[in-house]
Structure 1
């Protein structure tokens, strides 16, 4: 088997390896899955990463649940990692066993949300089970697309921006690609450390009431969540429908947003939807035919268990995905590059200022509802 492991930022290096997998039932209620690198038999795609025997034990519990124990044992040389991001790798946060366990938990929560969790909506808004399924499936595609877009995988042809070493641009051709607007689209992203805990930053960015503080297009709009589904026990883990109204009360645009957090990272991903697309989705339309370009944020804590440490830092990655033109020209005009840099730098400036303001006033708790 082969695998490419990546983190949600194009400035963080991937890890690749070929490995063999051995699975065996060890007893009537225990199973084991073990992976090990095969560099002695197959040429490895990289020389700085080798997987020693790693994997999991799965034990069936009396209550019908499963107890999973995961072990990651690797040899790795991280001397190519930028010192700006070194702490993520030395803390084992980047590719440790906790990330695999959290992936299993998240999948279980998604299934529970799909079949059990009710959808909460404003009075007069009715969304049947078919509509709920369509929204969840579209949110799942949105999140997967976002994570694929912001990684440093070789499939993503990133270009470093001359303005900053940590700003990246990628031009994509969407002609004939289902679920995306036709033409040329652009993904642009940057990563920055902020002196704020991941939980505080996550709650600030996910709330509709705080969106006007960082979203340049929402500054004069009223943002409100009008439908939501919780995913798991954390109230921040949810799929939401949001509306943006202007000062005259007219609907301007809707957003589908998913926010999710666990011990290894947090995500706030959204995509604009027009009113007709929302109406079709809540009546059970095929989500694969809805065209979206996800944008959003990933937040990685500096330390695995540093969330309660109010002095901890967070690595914020910002990514926007926009339509550049209806043609398939694989280049950007100089004025487009300048506009892109202004949008992302203004967004970083707005978020940084908000963090500084709340840290100085020490009023993060006051902003629980933003």
Structure 2
């Protein structure tokens, strides 16, 4: 989290620490009650949860939840939750719209031990780093309970900012308590609960009911994790294309958190592996593979940070793109960060809805044979994959090295590309590298010394409002290009440069749209082996 946010968090903690008692005791009781609820709803059967016929996750039965955990105010004909909200939230803003409930549960087997997961979730820096595709910022405001070196019966007061990989969706910012408890050998629970009742909230757009995970150790050293995510959020500022995604809970729900945890577990397993699948065309030693994996991870983290709607990203709208979406630009000046070139760079981004399944779009964008169809800089080049490092069981999840040659075989540029997909989202992220950088990475040089400007795509499942029950499949595609502009720092860039990059990004989106529309026509998808491959 940035220094301003840390100072704000410290000031806040000092403010409410004055009321050590009885406020501290009330917050601890609040957290322990939340853990009791999490234990009940996390293990409850299908009376409380409604399985989704086409998905693995469950949606909360609101009527049954109110019956078990709330009480109905007959005069308002709406639920109240006396246990968790007995007074008006001490928010900095007065709620003006009704909050919408998002409540889901999912389960998965994670290739991590229970204590490793607990340590990850209770360390704010590790948590925000591992869940970089969701968490923009996070900090511990203070610790109210727990012995040093132990995670049993520990309570942190934390703040966090959550995002989707698109500038179109507003961030979610809130204060909460995170409480961990060991129930028995190898069985843990970690629960989050909003603290608006006790601490002024930065916004009024999110209330977190008891949410978190129940972790059970398995005989093979892995963990069975049941994740519950239960919030009430403001949907009034959501773009119409994104409302169904958020309402379905795929945007911020249990499946997305659990998929991210699984991705992190697979990343650790790949990083620690002593043997690797053979490369496509070149032999890379183990130290070099580690450097490639770490550079790919940094590339993904930078991309996700760049395409969020956080206030730290000063986005400026350029123009409307054919009435579908806006192209935005963000100017970045770099003086001290050795991981990117010094001087001025710019990130251009836009989001569009496409009538194509996320899986087909992901495979098309990641495949080297398809690159010349959307990348203007590759139209006259021959793209070949020369190395690939798989990450996990899905063949689409990998770090790849692509070589771009002229038709005469002369090297033009290398691309480092990482692709990742799960049920809640997909990414294809890449950065151009010259031959000297590739040589250094192959030799195992520190990847933090390699300067990169990541560009790429995020793909979210998108169904139009009203089509949720008809099964209409679509994708919410976000495109972002990060380009170097000048070796000197500038507060603005030339209009001609902005116009050129706007044309590049809009032409890229148009090319992808045209291909999708062509292949959506009857039988056309059968005629193009490049588009069909791996689908």
TM-score calculated relative to the size of structure 2: 0.66
Question: Alignment length, in residue pairs?
Answer: 365
Distance 1:355 1:130, change over 3 A: same
Q: Indicate which of 207, 212, 220 corresponds to 2:380.
A: 220
> Whole-Å Cα distance in 1 between the matches of residues 375 and 519 of structure 2?
18
Q: Does the Cα contact within 8 Å between 2:353 and 2:475 map onto a contact in 1?
A: yes
1:352 is matched with 513
Asked if 1:71 is matched to 2:228, the reply is yes
After TM superposition, the structure 1 = structure 2 runs for residues 1-370 of structure 1, keeping only pairs within 5 Å, are 1-116=158-273, 118-123=276-281, 125-164=282-321, 166-302=326-462, 311-360=472-521, 361-363=524-526, 366=529, 367-369=531-533
> Whole-Å Cα distance in 1 between the matches of residues 404 and 528 of structure 2?
25
Consecutive unaligned residues of structure 2, counting only runs of 5 or more, are 1-157
Q: Provide the aligned C-alpha RMSD in A.
A: 1.7
> Following TM superposition, by how much is the alpha carbon of 1:349 offset from its aligned partner in structure 2, in angstroms?
0.5
> Following TM superposition, by how much is the alpha carbon of 1:175 offset from its aligned partner in structure 2, in angstroms?
1.9
Give per-residue Cα distances to partners, 1:316-349, cap 9 Å, x unaligned: 0000000011110110211111111101110011
Distance 1:201 1:58, change over 3 A: same
Give the structure with higher Rg (CA).
2
> Following TM superposition, by how much is the alpha carbon of 1:120 offset from its aligned partner in structure 2, in angstroms?
2.8
TM-score calculated relative to the size of structure 1: 0.95
> Following TM superposition, by how much is the alpha carbon of 1:363 offset from its aligned partner in structure 2, in angstroms?
2.6
Consecutive unaligned residues of structure 1, counting only runs of 5 or more, are none
Q: Does the Cα contact within 8 Å between 1:169 and 1:188 map onto a contact in 2?
A: yes
Deviates more, 1:184-193 or 1:229-238: 229-238
> Following TM superposition, by how much is the alpha carbon of 1:177 offset from its aligned partner in structure 2, in angstroms?
1.4
> Following TM superposition, by how much is the alpha carbon of 1:311 offset from its aligned partner in structure 2, in angstroms?
4.0
> Whole-Å Cα distance in 1 between the matches of residues 263 and 451 of structure 2?
25
**Partner-residue secondary structure (3-state), 2:241:** helix
Give per-residue Cα distances to partners, 1:192-249, cap 9 Å, x unaligned: 0000000000000000110000000000000010000111111111100000000111
Distance 1:88 1:310, change over 3 A: closer
> Following TM superposition, by how much is the alpha carbon of 1:369 offset from its aligned partner in structure 2, in angstroms?
3.3
Give per-residue Cα distances to partners, 1:277-301, cap 9 Å, x unaligned: 0011011011000000000000000
> Whole-Å Cα distance in 2 between the matches of residues 93 and 35 of structure 1?
19
* Structure of greater relative contact order (alpha carbons < 8 Å, 6+ residues apart): 1
**Partner-residue secondary structure (3-state), 1:362:** helix
Q: Does the Cα contact within 8 Å between 1:197 and 1:310 map onto a contact in 2?
A: no
> Following TM superposition, by how much is the alpha carbon of 1:190 offset from its aligned partner in structure 2, in angstroms?
0.2
2:130 is matched with none
**Partner-residue secondary structure (3-state), 1:166:** strand
Deviates more, 1:359-368 or 1:158-167: 359-368
> Whole-Å Cα distance in 1 between the matches of residues 351 and 280 of structure 2?
36
Q: Does the Cα contact within 8 Å between 1:198 and 1:313 map onto a contact in 2?
A: yes
> Whole-Å Cα distance in 1 between the matches of residues 197 and 528 of structure 2?
55
